[in-house]
Amino acid sequence: MMNDNFIQVNTEACKRCGQCVNICRGTLVMGNSGPEIAEDLCIECGHCVAVCPNGALNNTRTPLKNQVLIQRDLLINSEIAATFLRGRRSIRSFSSKAVERELIKKLLDIARFAPTACNSQGISYHVIDNKEFLHRISSVIADWTEEAIKSGPLKNSPWVHNTANTISQYRNSGKDTILRDAPCLIIATAKTEQFSLGRDNTHFSFSYVQLYAPTLGLGSCWSGLFEYCATDKYQPLLSLLEIPQNRVITGGLLIGYPVYHFQRLVDREPLQVTWQ
């Protein structure tokens, strides 16, 4: 990026405390009348603007006017946070009730704030909320999964038996055990040449969606089979989806209203940690 003097300092308000310089990745140094650009390594993370106790710094790439003051009374304590985090569950029984598109937008608007390597971001979402279309998607995923178990990428999967059972239930029960009869599937995409980074970023962003969903009365479930089928570039699936040529699918998340509500926080493997 060109060094275009994107840092503006209100020199009267700036106390030269150095917080902006200390948390910057290398762009800022402290000058005589406030922070200055040493080298343009700016990744537009917004730290410099967000940390200033006096609102003295503007970065035109992350403008001060777009940054929201933190309301301390809205921050949660550790006990509430632990219950909230542990309370997130994968939902596999969804109500048939459609999810309002406004709510989906609200969910995805939080996903934008998940961490990404070097603030790369770059994830777009393609939302499918047509039941019949979702059933067509499940049908092609079932075909792919059967092939993948026989001679494809799922052949040596440690969960092959479990996956085979999902498909046999799908074939025999008339239930959509693949997309769980969810009313909505969120498909994440990234630039084709950034598949690996995009997949990581998708997983972080979906984690935010999963955590935020219950606060809106919604539930979610990662669709591993959708993701594996799409990332294996299975043409019958790709040809159903209108994904732009220059983008690649990096994940899929099911969303809907949960039928059941959990009463307990489940246990997991014990914590394993070593110190040095």
Ligand X SMILES: Cc1cc2nc3c(=O)[nH]c(=O)nc-3n(C[C@H](O)[C@H](O)[C@H](O)COP(=O)(O)O)c2cc1C
Q: State the residues that interact with ligand X by CB under 6 A.
A: 89-90, 92, 221-225
Measured between alpha carbons, how far is residue 212 from residues 91, 128, 151, 208 in Å? Answer: 14, 19, 38, 6
Task: Determine the residue type at 85.
Answer: L
Nearer to ligand X, 3 or 90 (CB): 90
> Which DSSP helix (H) or strand (E) runs through 35?
strand 34-37
Tokens of 4: 């275009």
Nearer to ligand X, 60 or 90 (CB): 90
- Distance in Å, CB of 139 to ligand X, minimum: 16
Nearer to ligand X, 36 or 143 (CB): 143
- Distance in Å, CB of 186 to ligand X, minimum: 14
Nearer to ligand X, 59 or 177 (CB): 177
Tokens of 69: 């003051």
Helix (H, G, I), strand (E, B) or coil at 191: strand
Decide if 147 contacts 164 (C-beta within 8 A). no
- Distance in Å, CB of 92 to ligand X, minimum: 5
Helix (H, G, I), strand (E, B) or coil at 148: helix
- Distance in Å, CB of 6 to ligand X, minimum: 38
Nearer to ligand X, 27 or 210 (CB): 210
- Distance in Å, CB of 258 to ligand X, minimum: 11
What does the angle CA 204 – CA 207 – CA 209 come to, to the nearest 5 degrees?
115
